[in-house]
Structure 1
């Protein structure tokens, strides 16, 4: 029978449903929050797992692609291994639940959280914890302390319960807290330099919310929960082994820990004591089970460490409770890499190495959150030689490496340091908070609380505990001690390197981001990506373009990056009158050549503008692939561009850019006076035939002969349209036809703009095209005939 239980959390309805899915599981709950739906199940084997002295608990989070309406990736289109986010969500669920199982419960236990529907609004990590807690509560598995979980954000100075993905983008804090009705079980946070006071207020609010969720789960358990199995008790054999082991060890471990000296000497002494005791107790006629003896030896070692701290404030290495281990650090340790550092605290040493790359190398995420890429990736290796042992060489993980970032010249907001805090609790509420815990204290302690931050506030938190919760007061004390330690570490780091280097290391890519108008993005990309590929090939850089107009250019050489930036800026600014360019010749024609100015934009240099002297043939001064210095002398309404080499030469000759531009433009415009005429031109009053692209004299009339006439369409006497005749030429030619010296009688005008004059001996421009030859023959009209 399906039953439904609702509670309001963070202003939204959280619904617990049972009886509709997974009826054979030990406990199953379908949890709904907004349009997010997940199924949490809890199942355990009926008998203990042999040969273990721990809880064999497994938590799996299954992110199904169908939950977001997506197809799985890969060739086979099936779900594969879990994503990193799913693995982290599973660990997040495991950490608050594991300490709440009975001590001697060694049965195989499995929790599976399946995301059935994802709304891409609500994160599922904390809801998985709540669902798993409810499934355990109503199951028959021994688990009597349900937990609640929530996320607290900090937006505009206000704390927000369970912020959405969109709200988290604006939040200065993402604090995940899980806890029982009266104690905190797990904390994890990312923050933007938030003060300890804000963190404590957020913890208070989180525990109020978690208390309400726990109360609701208990009500569900009371109504539909199954009868729990009896919590297992220690057997007579276990009790006998424990007693014999304690008698054999006595105070020997405590004495070994008080020997002083280095960590290695202490650990070797304790290891020898335990090895001798185990060999003695597990052999002979009265031998005990090795597992029971080993478990008790570990318990005695932990008790010895805890006793020294609780009774004498004495730590295994002789430090006071708030003392740091000795610090040492250096940067620039490795050549060729983009950044490197070595940081050592006590006998713990980290080598950090930095690699920079373009946005194109960002990790692509295939998960159920709106985030699709990850640009900052932080990995660590913990090889077996780190502990002086031989063993399997594992895969990568994550650790801090601020000094390597600063050595590599990465611009960071502020230096950040981290510290691990510990806790030892005793009877009657006695609690000792430890600063900078080491291995033995982590193993024997009740809490591992990592705090990272700058001088201005906290940037990250992570807390795991082994007891049934800690109080708000202990958290407050731990945060204060962590702050003091963090400031000491920052002071040491700043002596090594005070700020990020101003220059990147040799070989590191230079990344620069510029903005272009969104309506120019298509121009930067070009047809089929031709423009952006051209920039990448020409300058040897990477170019990443975002929908908001952000363009990130990356390359190992600063001048190449700047060249690409200027190319993009020029492209989006457009070609303007009077601008100078160094362009590459991309096409040769009889009448001139085309020059590429910027990706996607070519301009035309007429033969008469290729030099300040007469050019008999285009290829005598320019060939494909040559680079020419050109000036823009015209941009027509259709975006077609006229260029001039001659104007550049003249500018360099007399040093006056405006004059050179004015003269170049002037060579294109029609004049108000007639030309001189000539025997092969019209009559005395004006124009006569210009060459193919040579324009005739300015506005003069055609010849006296009634059959001589101008071009086909845009005539007028002399040069047509906007084209102006030169000194001795005939009528105007086409778009690119300019005046100049007369060539010969057979030269003809252009297609459109010739007036009377133009063309050959009898005038009349041809009509083939703007850039081709003139007309094949003049047109005649009979006026009278005898």
Structure 2
């Protein structure tokens, strides 16, 4: 699954799809439908096995135990609400429409209570005792419709108030669906495929690293991006002892104030966690690699107003806020929520499903489907679908996905018109992070014994943190450039690989021994400058010329097998250069005057080779030997004369 382009979870029956949820890396609609079709084939096999299990071990369903509102209650509610309910559903604004519907509901309950149909003291499906509801009537009294003749006793049917509210909600949903199918217009006047007005602003919060306010109709999300170092990554508890963390996470907040309510704000709810995870997985594929952008990225989406599709508004606002924070995203993405009226024939339609783009809260509650899709024009990054009917088929889902792609294209076009636009540059308030590579065996030099060295670097330079990895990766997090450069220099000196011949200036003498002085050429790196290399003259003790704390210039002249450094200060003195030059001249003149033994050996060897090629006569051999002896004697006499001189 780590290398897969799709992570899909689905549930369904042998003939329809009930729920899907998944995340992918810009997968096309056609590929997603192929995956869903393959999943449905597997679900059919599971359903067959379940049917076999039911036949062998199943029990009869307890249908009679479910108490439903009586059918006559639906007739009473429809008669009382009537046209007033239709007018309330056509109000465009959410709050006025909600108030109008509440007024109609209260009117229905009041009228039914006055007529004696509603008793607030009983629960759903449970009637009062017969003695409390019977009325003695004359024998010649006419029985009204809806009453029950029990001889001399007439009983009026009583409904619980909770049943009336439940029926009113169902009737409202039925009327809303009918208005959409018959009139072709939704409650806010839009066509089925039309989106609400979109407005977006970036850089709304000047002190934040990145911010954006995304508004779509009556749904609004305030997205804020914060950048930090590795220590700000979200730690995750798991069942094993391995440490796990996330360098990117999105937190979704849905306060009661966004729907005009007052309530306590506590721990994140199940809904907030789910919506936040959906938006997080939708944005994750567009982020750069951690090697290219070594920041921990935190996106916080606060819903300031909600009327449907707040999770997809978090995707749009989060994408704009990432750009405003200077995060180099791959592509912009957007999200949209799709709805459905499945059975249009019931309301006078042709029977084909009606797909709704960018649904509101009322359409989500009254519709048959809620499909959230996030991505760009070419592919999908996240999706989630739940339905309220027995299932939908693949052709219906295909139509919804293609219509969602057109909606995303429109949203991305509107996001590009953001005013002011995203800055696309790193905020001056964001921390600076520098990543450097050292040899893995040098990491211990940076950390030091018990973390002493790395703590001293942080205190000395003022950086926020220094993180090291086993592979030699070092991350420095700082608030300003000067402290960052200072820490880089110290770490580079600690982990440097010295080379013979390099010169180090203004180095401090850390300690003095009888045989020389230990000089620090870099923080934590010391070498021995032997007493013979401290000065051009002769020194009996190193303390005679130097003391601890003095600073001198040294040259690296040797690195032994153990990695120990041998330094020389005398090699940098002017007298040392003249002495070395005179020594070279003296040795050169000596070589010119004294013939080398090697040269004679080479001459003899060459003559021996020529001898093998042609055999000379005996007289020639005698002459050759005589010449060799005379040459050797001459060389010996010249050498003795030179020695005398």
> What TM-score range do you get, normalising by the shorter chain?
0.5 to 0.7
The secondary structure found in structure 2 opposite 1:322 is coil
Instruction: Select which of 360, 381, 388 maps to 2:253.
Output: 381
Aligned residue for 1:365? 236
Q: Deviations over 1:437-478 (max 9, x none)?
A: 111111111111111112331111111111121111111111
Which residue in the other structure is 1:296 paired with? Answer: 167
For residues 666-692 of structure 1, give each alpha carbon's deviation from its aligned partner in whole angstroms, at most 9, with x where no partner exists: 9999978999xxxxxxxxxxxxxxxxx
Specify the alignment match of 1:542 in structure 2: 465
In the aligned structure 2, how far is the partner of 1:323 from the partner of 1:262? Answer: 17
Q: Is the 8 A contact 1:644 1:664 kept in 2?
A: no
Q: Is the 8 A contact 1:330 1:341 kept in 2?
A: yes
- What is the aligned counterpart of 2:222 among 335, 351, 363? 351
Contact 2:18–2:387, Cα closer than 8 Å, also in 1 = yes
| Counterpart for residue 510 of structure 1 | 432
2: distance between equivalents of 1:255 and 1:353? 40
CA distance in 2, matches of 1:582, 1:485: 67
Find the counterpart in structure 2 of residue 159 from structure 1: none
Conserved 8 A contact 2:321-2:422 = no
In the TM superposition, residue 291 of structure 1 has moved relative to its aligned partner by 0.3
1:392 aligns with 2:264: yes
- Which one of the candidate residues 255, 278, 282 is aligned to 2:109? 278
Distance 1:196 1:413 in 2: 20
Is 1:266 matched with 2:97? Answer: yes
- Is 1:177 equivalent to 2:2 in the alignment? no
- Does residue 216 (structure 1) correspond to residue 49 (structure 2)? The answer is yes
Q: What is the distance in 1 between the residues matched to 2:49 and 2:505?
A: 75
* Secondary structure, aligned partner of 2:365: helix
Helix, strand or coil at the partner of 2:10: strand
Taking the TM superposition and a 5 Å limit, the aligned residue runs for 1:116-265 are: 168-234=1-67, 238-259=70-91, 261-265=92-96
Q: Give the structure with the larger helix fraction.
A: 2
Shift of 1:205: 0.9
- C-alpha displacement of 1:329: 0.9
Counterpart-to-counterpart distance in 2, 1:269 and 1:665: 101
Per-residue deviation at 1:493? 2.0
1:601 to 508, 525, 531: 525
SS of aligned partner of 1:504: coil
Corresponding residue of 1:766: none
In the alignment, which residue of structure 1 is the partner of 2:364?
Answer: 442
What secondary structure sits across from 2:227 in the alignment? Answer: coil
Q: Which whole-Å deviations, capped at 9, do the CAs of 1:34-93 have from their partners, x for residues lacking one?
A: xxxxxxxxxxxxxxxxxxxxxxxxxxxxxxxxxxxxxxxxxxxxxxxxxxxxxxxxxxxx
Residue 249 of structure 1: how far off its partner (Å): 1.0
TM-score between both structures, scaled by the size of structure 2: 0.67
The count of residues paired between Structure 1 and Structure 2 equals 492
Deviations 1:295-323 (A, max 9, x none): 01111221122112222221110011111
Question: Which residue of structure 1 lines up, in the alignment, with residue 354 of structure 2?
Answer: 432
CA distance in 1, matches of 2:111, 2:506: 89
Aligned Cα root-mean-square deviation (Å): 3.9
Counterpart in the other structure of 1:109: none
Q: Deviations over 1:723-754 (max 9, x none)?
A: xxxxxxxxxxxxxxxxxxxxxxxxxxxxxxxx
Q: Where does the alignment leave 5 or more consecutive residues of structure 2 unmatched? A: 119-158, 277-313, 346-350, 588-645
Closer, same or farther: CA 640–200 of 1 in aligned 2, 3 Å: same
Q: CA deviation at 1:431?
A: 1.2
Alignment partner of 1:486: what SS? helix
Give the C-alpha shift of residue 204 in structure 1. Answer: 0.9
Task: Kindly indicate whether residue 500 of structure 2 is the aligned counterpart of residue 577 of structure 1.
Answer: yes
- Aligned partner of 1:764 in structure 2 is none
The question of whether the paired residues in 2 share the 8 Å contact of 1:310 and 1:426 is answered with no
In structure 2, the residue matched to 1:422 is: 339
**Structure 1 length as normaliser, TM-score?**
0.56
Kept after mapping to 1: 8 A contact 2:454/2:466: yes
Q: Are the aligned partners of 1:263 and 1:317 in contact in 2 as well (CA < 8 Å)? A: no
Q: Distance in 2 between matches of 1:633 and 1:339?
A: 54
1:498–1:328 CA distance, 2 compared to 1 (3 A): closer
Question: Does the aligned pair in 1 maintain the 2:536–2:576 contact within 8 Å?
Answer: no
Q: Deviations over 1:504-555 (max 9, x none)?
A: 2123223344444545544554444444444444441423334444443333
State how far apart, in whole Å, the 2-side matches of 1:634 and 1:306 are: 89
Moved more, 423-432 or 374-383: 423-432
Please say if residues 512 and 548 of structure 2, whose CA atoms lie closer than 8 Å, have aligned partners that are also in contact. no
Distance in 2, Cα, partners of 1:642 & 1:351: 63
CA distance in 1, matches of 2:71, 2:37: 42
Asked if 2 retains the 8 angstrom alpha-carbon contact of 1:406 and 1:497, the reply is no
Flag the 1:282–1:456 CA change in 2: closer, same or farther, 3 A. same
> 1:137 matched to which residue of 2?
none
Distance (whole Å) between structure 1 residues aligned to residue 576 and residue 336 of structure 2: 72
- Residue 554 (structure 1) aligned to one of 470, 474, 477: 477
1:407 is matched with which residue: 301, 324, 329? 324
Structure 1's unaligned 5+ residue stretches are: 1-167, 651-659, 676-786
C-alpha contact (below 8 Å) 1:585/1:622 kept by paired residues: no
Change (3 A) 1:628 1:528: farther
Q: Deviations over 1:630-663 (max 9, x none)?
A: 6544433322224567888x8xxxxxxxxx9xx9
Q: Distance in 2 between matches of 1:266 and 1:665?
A: 97
The answer (yes or no) to whether the contact 1:411–1:500 under 8 Å persists in 2 is no
Report the CA distance shift for 1:499/1:281 in structure 2 as closer, same or farther (over 3 A).
same
- Note the 1:743-782 alignment, pairs <5 A: none
1:329 is matched with 200
CA distance 1:427–1:494, change in 2 (3 Å):
closer
Give the superposition deviation at 1:327.
1.0
SS in 2 for 1:178: strand
Per chain length, whose mean CA-contact separation is higher, i.e. which structure has more relative contact order (CA < 8 Å, sep 6+)?
Answer: 2
Cα-to-partner distance string for 1:563-604 (whole Å, 9 max, x where unaligned)? 545555554452233446678748343654532614x53334
